[in-house]
Structures are given as structure tokens and as C-alpha cells.
A and B are shown apart, each in its own frame.
Chain A
Amino acid sequence: MRVFLEQLLNGLTIGSFYALIALGYSMVFGVMKLINFAHGDLFALGSYLGFTILVLGTAYITSYLGLWGGMIAAIIIAAICLAVVGTLVERIAYRKIYPAGRLPLVVSALGVSIFLQNSIMVVWGPRPQAYTANVVPSAYLQIGEVRITLLQIIILVLSFLLMSILYYIIQKTTFGAAIRASALDRDTAALMGININTIIFFIFALGPALGGTAGVMVGMYYRKISFIMGWNYGLKAFTATILGGIGNIPGAMIGGLLLGVLEMLGSGYISTAYKDVFVFIVLILVLIFRPRGLLGEKVAEKV
């Protein structure tokens, strides 16, 4: 029981990382029909930015802000930077290519991804970096036998908060309605007087911002960050997106959490070595039987 609870907890923690990243994929795909391969590396970039912020600000944090304050500050700054970078990427690398269709976009996205990954390597060096201990809170709660670090709690709460805010924006506000509309049919939405560019700007700012947040959290949680981590997390998050139903916001959240839990339980009860294999097999099965993901609804081909 204890083991199960611990795995579940870890699963949820990782899952919330995946979910936060997946949201970025999902929003961009929903509106642009683009698999934004650069998103994973934006996440990694966020992680490194957080690292630098914390290193530079160590003195300030320890004396004034306190660890939690420092964490929040790092997250906010990183998120803002990422929002800027994200929109820049869209401006420079994607906007001109929209008329050319989707495949060139994919290549461009891969190019951006390679570019970001290697710029991280050039700036921070090829060695894995580590969030230094003195800026990461290490307190924990002992509930029964299960030990929960405060960090985990904060991560869970924070990501849940962010997700619900986003959910509210997307589902309840008129702006969200506009986003959903343009996700369904961009041209018609444009005809209905929705300013697509604003929407694009918004998703390319918000997606990476969430990714960056996740990046800082991952850095805090595992300490070790490396410039290649973007690929692994990106791939997992994209899997989560598809699992939940691509272009579907709640789908991305549920997909992410589900993936995290699956991964942990899979490695706990099936095989540690084959946990990713297990994850992908589940994904493929889901797609065979529900070709549009868990929450995505079937749309009949109009002839």
C-alpha cells in the first residue's frame, strides 16, 4: 500500500510536468495544426533560465525572499522570458511559412528545436547542470509511512492552479471561445471577425510560459538538468497530448497526469526497464481503438 501511494504521488508529480508541457503542444496544434517540436526545448530553456536566475539571485533569495519566494520569483521570470522567446520563435520561424502548408512548418519546428538545444549547450556547456541545494526547499511531511516533500505539494498545487486557470480561460471566457472556434476552423473564425493573430500570439506566449514553469519545477525537483532533456520530456508530453485527444485542453491535462501515473505504476509493477515501451504500447492501443484520443470526439469525414 505504502509503495503504491508513493508511486501514485510520484506519478502525479511527473504527470503534472507532462500536463503543463502538453498544454503548450495542444494549444498550438489546436489552432495551427502544427506539431511544435521546439516546445520541448523551450521547456529545457526554461529549466536553464530558472537555474541561472537562482544562481544569480542566491544571496538575495536567502536573505530576503526565502526559498519559496525565490522559487516563485524564478518561475515567474522564467515564464515571462519563455513567453517572449515563444512569440519570437513564432514571428521568425513560423509566420512566414503558414501559407506553404504544414510539412514545411514541421521542418522549421525541428530546425528551431535543434537551434535551441545547441544554443543551450553553447551557453551553459555540455555538462549536466545542477540546481544548487541552498536554493531548493527540502522540507517534507511524514503522513503515515508516506513521505511527501513540500516541493512535491507545491508543484502539484501550482500546476493544478495553472491548469484550472487556463481551463477557465479556454472554456468560460469569450476569448477562450474564440480560441476554440479558431481551433475548429480557422478561416471561418477569421470570417466571424476573430483576430487570428491575437490568438496565435496568445498561444505562442502562454504555451512556452507553461513549459518554462514546468522546466523550473523539474529543475527544482530533480536538481540535474541537461541540454538534451527537452527531447525526452517533449516526446512524453506530446504522447500525453495525443493520448488525451490533440487540440483538446482538458484532454492534454488528463493525458499528462495519466501518462505520469501509467509510467510510474508500469515501472513499479511491470518492469522498470520497459516502462517507456509500456507507455507507448498503451498509446498505440488507445489510438487503434479510439483513433482520436481519449477525449477527442470522432468527426465523420464529409464527402
Chain B
Amino acid sequence: MFKDNNLNTGISVETDKVDENINGDKKVVLEIQELTKRFGGLIAVNSFDLRVNQGRISSIIGPNGAGKTTVFNVVTGIYQPDGGKVIFKGGDLAENKPHQIVAKGIARTFQNIRLFSNMTCLENVMSGQHCRGSAGVWSSVFRSSHQIKEENRIGELAEGRLHQVGLWKFKDELAKNIAYGSQRMLEIARALATNPDLLVLDEPSSGLSDRESEDLMKFLKDLLKEEDLTILLIEHDMNVVMGISDWVTVMDEGRKIAEGLPENIYHNPLVIEAYLGKEEEEEL
């Protein structure tokens, strides 16, 4: 992993000093340092820094192609970075396979929902517990008592998660047969079933009705109250972001152009120009 400086030139990052002492006491769960990712000639992420604090909801916003999802894919191990580090709970995630990262405690959802469509909702959620299980081939074939206990544990936990996201009634439906909104919640339930410390949501509210996004926001807030969890999310919908985020980072063209408390970001001219401007055009 190398770090090339010439990429950092001309990056103006406006940081909110206020925040540091607001949550100075909070410990950092995820830290991204000078992250760089290229695809051929295109530099998708350009020496990007980020610190995600324990027990908060942090968001990354930015126009399309700003490199938000790429950051996620590097964090969750689907891509390997071309430069920089990703440090989770003090450990470097470099060279980790996605499933190892999940085992370490980062769970994610996808922008375009990726469910196991021909399996029942319950099975989908149960598969989340896979990395917490240990039964091998033999104990599964011969149904050892340990394996039976484990299966029960997995099953009950999955049922619990389904209740939590309010999909209990669909437990035996195939995932492909339930409504879009429910599929989003199911994917979140699946991610939660891995008992993560950090939940990474890629545009959770995209394609949801306002009503559904409202529920989603409420759900995430309650989640944070109930469980010792941290959430990092990419969002397009400003209302959602401003509604639930404790801390917002703005990306454009692979760089961080600003970060701070939602209200400050909201009035940050740089952001308005780089992001909201585009947003309005999109709405035309």
C-alpha cells in the first residue's frame, strides 16, 4: 500500500472544530486514512479520510459518481484499496476477504437490493448468522446435539430480527415475492443478524416512499438507542440525512469537500454549490 501526495494537492477540507469536543469522548470505530481507489484511468476515490464515532449515525453524501459506494466496497472488502488504510476497532482491514470483515463486525446492505431471492425471508435472515455458527459437515449430517442447539439459536435469533423489522408475517414467503420496501427492511434484518458493531447502509431510503423513509429513520434511531451499534450510511435524500445523521461527510469527485454537523453542512456554500445545486437540477 503506497500513498502518493500529488493527489492531495488542492483539496480544501472544511472541518467543524465544534464536533471534535462534542464527541471527543466517543471512541472511533472506523477510521479511513488517505484512501485511494482507481479503476483504470479513473480515480474513483482520491486520498479520502473519514472517522466514524461509536454509537453515532454518520452519513456520506455527494452527487452521483462521487465515489461513495466505492468507499463502501473498499470498507467491506469487495475492492482492495490502491492506497491508504482502513482501520476498524484498531485493526487494519487490508487484505481481508469480505466474509472475514463481516466476521470482524461490519455488516452492509446494497444500493440495488441483493437478497437470496429464491429463499424464504427467514432463511435469508438465518444466513446472516452463518458467520456466528460453527457446525461442520459431520455434525450437520448426523444432527449432533450441539448442531441442533445452534440451529435453534440461529432460528430464534432470526425470528427476533424479523419481528424487529416487522416482517414476521412474511417469514415463509420467498424473498423475491415481498414488496420492495419490505425487501429493503429484510436486507437490513439480514445485516443485523450478523451481530455487527458497524452497520453500513448503501442508500437505504432509495426507492422508498416518504412514509417508508420516515419509518426507516425512526427504526434506525430506535436501533441505536436499543443496541450498542454504529451506523454509517450513504444517502441521497437530504431530508433523511439531515433527519438522522449526527455527523455528515460530503464527497465530490472522490474527495472529501466538507464534513460537520448536519445543520452546518446544510448551509455550507461549498456543499450547496457542489451538491445541492446538482440535486436541484436532477429534480427538474
Q: Do chains A and B touch in the complex (CB under 8 A)?
A: yes
Q: Is there contact, CB below 8 Å, between A303 and B69?
A: yes
Shortest beta-carbon distance, A299 to chain B, in Å?
11
Q: Write out the residue numbers on chain A whose beta carbons fall within 8 Å of the beta carbon of B110.
A: 303
Q: 8 Å CB contacts to A: which residues of B45-80?
A: 69, 73, 78
Q: Write out the residue numbers on chain B whose beta carbons fall within 8 Å of the beta carbon of A143.
A: none
Write out, one digit per residue, whether chain A residues 271-303 have a CB within 8 A of any chain B CB (1) or not (0). Answer: 000000000000000000000000000001001
Shortest beta-carbon distance, A120 to chain B, in Å?
39
Q: Which residue of B lies closest to A302 (CB)?
A: B112
Q: Which residue of B lies closest to A300 (CB)?
A: B39
Q: Is there contact, CB below 8 Å, between B78 and A303?
A: yes
Q: Is there contact, CB below 8 Å, between A303 and B73?
A: yes
Give CA–CA (A300, B70) in the complex, Å: 13
Shortest beta-carbon distance, A263 to chain B, in Å?
36
Q: 8 Å CB contacts to A: which residues of B93-127?
A: 110
Give CA–CA (A300, B73) in the complex, Å: 13
Shortest beta-carbon distance, B241 to chain A, in Å?
22
Q: Write out the residue numbers on chain B whose beta carbons fall within 8 Å of the beta carbon of A300.
A: 39
Q: Write out the residue numbers on chain A whose beta carbons fall within 8 Å of the beta carbon of B73.
A: 303
Q: Write out the residue numbers on chain B whose beta carbons fall within 8 Å of the beta carbon of A303.
A: 69, 73, 78, 110
Give CA–CA (A300, B69) in the complex, Å: 15
Shortest beta-carbon distance, A297 to chain B, in Å?
11
Give CA–CA (A173, B90) in the complex, Å: 58
Q: Which residue of A lies closest to B78 (CB)?
A: A303
Chain A interface main SS type: loop
Give CA–CA (A303, B110) in the complex, Å: 8
Shortest beta-carbon distance, A121 to chain B, in Å?
40
Shortest beta-carbon distance, B163 to chain A, in Å?
30
Give CA–CA (A300, B78) in the complex, Å: 11
Give CA–CA (A54, B265) in the complex, Å: 83
Shortest beta-carbon distance, A302 to chain B, in Å?
9
Q: 8 Å CB contacts to A: which residues of B23-58?
A: 39
Shortest beta-carbon distance, B237 to chain A, in Å?
21
Q: 8 Å CB contacts to A: which residues of B223-268?
A: none
Q: Which residue of A lies closest to B111 (CB)?
A: A303
Shortest beta-carbon distance, A162 to chain B, in Å?
36
Q: 8 Å CB contacts to B: which residues of A102-159?
A: none
Shortest beta-carbon distance, A230 to chain B, in Å?
35
Q: Write out the residue numbers on chain A whose beta carbons fall within 8 Å of the beta carbon of B69.
A: 303
Give CA–CA (A303, B39) in the complex, Å: 14
Q: Which residue of A lies closest to B72 (CB)?
A: A303
Give CA–CA (A73, B29) in the complex, Å: 77
Give CA–CA (A303, B73) in the complex, Å: 8
Give CA–CA (A58, B245) in the complex, Å: 86
Give CA–CA (A303, B68) in the complex, Å: 12
Q: Which residue of B lies closest to A301 (CB)?
A: B78
Give CA–CA (A303, B69) in the complex, Å: 9
Give CA–CA (A288, B73) in the complex, Å: 25
Q: Which residue of A lies closest to B110 (CB)?
A: A303
Q: Which residue of A lies closest to B108 (CB)?
A: A303
Give CA–CA (A177, B125) in the complex, Å: 45
Give CA–CA (A300, B42) in the complex, Å: 13
Shortest beta-carbon distance, B112 to chain A, in Å?
9
Shortest beta-carbon distance, A258 to chain B, in Å?
28
Give CA–CA (A303, B112) in the complex, Å: 8
Q: Which residue of A lies closest to B39 (CB)?
A: A300
Give CA–CA (A303, B75) in the complex, Å: 13
Give CA–CA (A239, B110) in the complex, Å: 36
Give CA–CA (A284, B123) in the complex, Å: 36
Shortest beta-carbon distance, B69 to chain A, in Å?
7
Q: Which residue of A lies closest to B69 (CB)?
A: A303
Give CA–CA (A121, B73) in the complex, Å: 56
Q: Write out the residue numbers on chain A whose beta carbons fall within 8 Å of the beta carbon of B39.
A: 300
Give CA–CA (A300, B38) in the complex, Å: 12
Q: Which residue of A lies closest to B70 (CB)?
A: A303
Shortest beta-carbon distance, A303 to chain B, in Å?
6
Q: 8 Å CB contacts to A: which residues of B140-194?
A: none
Q: 8 Å CB contacts to B: which residues of A198-218?
A: none
Give CA–CA (A286, B48) in the complex, Å: 37
Shortest beta-carbon distance, B107 to chain A, in Å?
15
Give CA–CA (A222, B225) in the complex, Å: 80
Shortest beta-carbon distance, A102 to chain B, in Å?
15
Give CA–CA (A7, B72) in the complex, Å: 55
Shortest beta-carbon distance, B104 to chain A, in Å?
19
Shortest beta-carbon distance, A140 to chain B, in Å?
52
Q: Which 5 A-B residue pairings sit nearest by Cβ, starting from the closest?
A: A303-B73, A303-B78, A300-B39, A303-B110, A303-B69
Between A and B, 5 residue pairs with Cβ closer than 8 Å are: A300-B39, A303-B69, A303-B73, A303-B78, A303-B110
